[in-house]
Chains A and B, each alone.
Chain A
Amino acid sequence: MMNLLSGHMEDWSTPQYFCFAIRCEVCGEFWYSSSIPFSKAAQAADCLEKKELYDAIYQREKVRAKLAAGKEARELFSQCPICGRLVCDSCFLICDEIDMCRECACRMKERGEPVMP
């Protein structure tokens, strides 16, 4: 699941903070992870001669932020067992036999309640 989430993540980070987005493949709405500020954002802007050092720190923190975003997204996204797409909780239905995305449920005429109404 983490690999799937990681593969769908879009980088919306800036030099000041880290933020990642995942797009629900059913409703198309983007989910944005909690923005994590870059610890050296202020210093990096002031001290250009240490750019290489701060770039390394930035990359290290970005990897961590991406992991954190993945953990955060894992609570809000599911993989549809029918179509295999990554869907948000609003589009993922709890059905009687097997949970699935809204579109698959509609196609198979299954009824269910969304995880997050």
Chain B
Amino acid sequence: MRMQYLLLFLLLCMLLTGCAADLTGGYLIPAAEGSEEYVTTLNGYLSEYETRNLKENLYVETADGNATACFDVQAMPAIDHGVGRYWYSHVLATVVIAVDRTRTDAVITGWKSLTESQIRVGMSSTSVIRNMLVIGALSYGLNPAAPAKQDALDFLEQLSRNGGFELDESDAPILLCLDYEAAAWNRNGQNYEVIVPEEGTISYRLGLLSDVPLTLESGLDESLLSAGFPLASGERPQGFPSNYQSAHTLRAEDYDWFLELAGDSSRDLRREVFHTRLYTTADLREHILSALLIAVVILLWKGTVSHRMLRHDVQWIVGAMCWSMVGWLLLRLFKYQLFSEGILCRICWYGYYIFQLILPVALLCLTEIIDRPEGERSPLRPLWPPFVFYVLSVILVLTNDLHHMVFRFEPGGNWNSDYYYGPGYWIIMAGSLLALVLAVGKLLCMGRRNTHWGGKIFPLLFCAGLLAYIIAYICRVPLVWESDLTVCICIISILFFETVLHSGLIPVNIQYKKLFTAAPVGLTLFDEKGRAVLSSCGTVPISPSIWRRMHMDPHKPLLRDSDTQLHAIPVHNGMAVWQEDISQLNRLKKEIQNVQSRLEAANNLLQEEEEIKKRLMAAETKRDLFEQLNCDIEHRITALSREIEKLPETGCPKGTTAYIALCLCHIKRRCNLFFLDRQGESLLREELSIYLNELAELAGYVGIQMLIRYGRAGALDIRCAALCYDYAFETILWMLKSNASVLIGYMESEGSNLIFRFLPGCDSRQWHYSEKFMAEISALGGEITYKDLDDAVGICMTLPLGGENCD
């Protein structure tokens, strides 16, 4: 943006400062073609004025304080518009027909006789004013009552078709010229018959236009007459026709219709008489207007392209191309403003190539970066050869006056048109063509997957058209040579680029509206002020407070309402915001919460149920346990109760009391072993020995000496330990019954069996252990055997070892 403002500022500076007046003044300037001799004659009568050639146009020179020689049809409109206040007419110039009698003896009397003669007719000049004078005179001559330009144009077209009519053809046998010119030629030895057309013609006044009053010294009329100029008063020197009755001199009221009649004569002559420049600009005004129009169109197009482009680097290159074209057109306009075709004009012409040659290079650069990510710097490397070539080419063109390798001018000719191309030009053109071909080739290569056939054909067509046009221009094909190269290249380039954009070879965002309309996500593009630029269908506008909040922190999503979440991402000059519908999410979340609460309630219920079950199970287990315990020790308790009841009646209370104590001890330890059994634990032999020693101690109270030895330590299965304990208890009971006093026991492990031997001090063969005890031993795979020793009977209980044996 800053660059554009700078360019506009420079343009304004150029335009405004270009109008600054430089009131130098003091020059006598021949502003009309053919007035040089007249000015030379005047020079002696305006001593304070110095003669010089025209540098600016007539009006600028006059406004600068100079005295300019011009025709009345130039001076009167200028005075009407405030340029030049003083008009001094001296010479009367009549449009006549000059017939070279050395080349033809055709009878020529007037305009119409020209068509009958079938002889080539020419005009001695192509200047605009000369065309105006002739067209005006011819129009008047063909219809003095109501002069019409179309009559003159039709007449000249017919003339051109029959015998030939050429502009700037001073070699023709018949010339349309001013009478004093023909008289001058005759004075120089030529043989022209000067004919005042009998149908009528116009006499124009040649004089001086000035912003300041001029003081002309006396004797000017005589000098003019002697120089061969007819005076404004009608007095003519020798060598002029005698009869000027058909010549009409313009009066003050005639200038309006004359200017309306003769305006745009050059353009009409080209188009309607010679049928050239039908499709291009034909005069200076059209050149300027067309250039301005094209420049405006290019800038507007650039604006649309910038709006459509996705990438900034592509935008930048397209902008550079557009400004190059605009610069080319502006330079061309500047060149048109230059009145003299001097060095500056030629440098401007060379300067066209600064802008022209950059176009293919920029296009190549564009195609090089287009398929790479934005901001990647590596593409710059392969692009330096075309840029170097461009710089060298521009230098070569701008220095052409030194070496003439690019343009070669014909000696004595007009450099503007009489030139041909040198080898440098062909090298430059070949380089530019190569860049263009590479660029187009790359574009087409990138778009080869494009299914739309027009996407490839149209860019190729415009490219081919551009090449054909340039080749035709170089070959000077008349239709193309007459056209405006700059405007045509600009237009074709823009059309080419536009087709490239439309065909999708360069990505653009022209389908954004469709994209947004079709987008299912609620996407909105905001400008930097929060205004929605593009919005997808059904998107609800956001409030200013939400915009402020998003602008502050675009990366954090926020809620528009409970069911709409807004996400934002900053983009160039604004922000992209999309709305996410989270109603489904909220519904799911709510469902999950409901399910969770239901699960929690169910879980609580199950926990309570489990607690109740646990309590019930504990009670049942306890009951079962006590039932089993009861079952296990019931008979002992019953026996114990009986013994206790009998205790007062017994004769031996000590023995009964010991028995009761033994039973109580046995019940206690059995209960202990019962619970240990339910816990699934084992019992160490050391602990079993404590139990057995306890029994031995109680047995000691009734006089039984009991000694038990143990083998190595280790753990016993509870059931095995309980049987050992029961075995010892029942043996003690039998000792009591047998009134035995000594009991020796030995417990040891033998292989996989536990051997528990008792050697009582009496005959134990009559001892019978309880059935329940025996059943338990059998169930465990053990047995009780008696061994008859010499003086005693030993009892041996064998049990398979259970539990962990540390032997």
Contact = CB atoms under 8 A, between A and B. Distances in A.
Interface centre among A12, A16, A21, A30 (most CB of B within 10 A): A30
A contacts with B: majority SS: loop
Interface in A28-42: 28-35
Interface string B535-553: 0000000010110110011
A28 B586 CA distance: 14
A61 B546 CA distance: 22
Interface centre among A19, A23, A33, A34 (most CB of B within 10 A): A19
- Chain A: interface residue count, which band? 10 to 19
B807 interface: no
B665 to A, nearest CB: 71
A2 interface: no
A45 B50 CA distance: 83
A19 B562 CA distance: 18
B762 to A, nearest CB: 92
B558 interface: yes
A32 B562 contact: no
Contacts of B558: 12, 21, 30, 32
B559 interface: yes
B543 A29 contact: yes
A14 B561 contact: no
Contacts of A33: 545
A71 to B, nearest CB: 14
B553 A30 contact: no
A23 B546 CA distance: 12
Interface in B505-553: 543, 545-546, 548-549, 552-553
Given A29-B560, A29-B561, A30-B560, A14 B553 contact: yes
B552 A28 contact: no
Interface in A12-65: 12, 14, 16-17, 19, 21, 23, 27-35
B556 interface: yes
Contacts of B559: 21, 30
B548 A35 contact: yes
A19 B145 CA distance: 89
Contacts of A12: 549, 558
B348 to A, nearest CB: 57
Contact of A32 (B548, B561, B563): B548
A35 B553 contact: yes
Contact of B549 (A19, A23, A27): A19
Contact of A17 (B545, B553, B561, B562): B553
A5 to B, nearest CB: 14
A28 B562 contact: yes
A28 to B, nearest CB: 4
Contacts of A16: 553
Nearest to B546: A32
Contacts of A21: 558-559
Nearest to B559: A30
A34 B548 contact: yes
B561 A35 contact: no
Contacts of B546: 30, 32
B552 A17 contact: yes
A27 B327 CA distance: 58
Contacts of B548: 32, 34-35
A23 B553 contact: no
Contacts of A32: 545-546, 548-549, 558
Contacts of B553: 14, 16-17, 19, 35
Contacts of A23: 561-562
B562 A31 contact: no
Contacts of B552: 17, 19, 35
A9 B553 CA distance: 19
Interface string B370-387: 000000000000000000
Contacts of A29: 543, 560-561
Interface of B: 543, 545-546, 548-549, 552-553, 556, 558-563
16 contacts: A12-B549, A14-B556, A17-B553, A21-B558, A23-B561, A27-B561, A28-B563, A30-B558, A30-B559, A30-B560, A30-B561, A31-B545, A33-B545, A34-B545, A35-B548, A35-B549
Given A19-B549, A19-B552, A23-B561, 9 more contacts: A12-B558, A21-B559, A29-B543, A29-B561, A30-B559, A32-B545, A32-B546, A34-B545, A35-B553
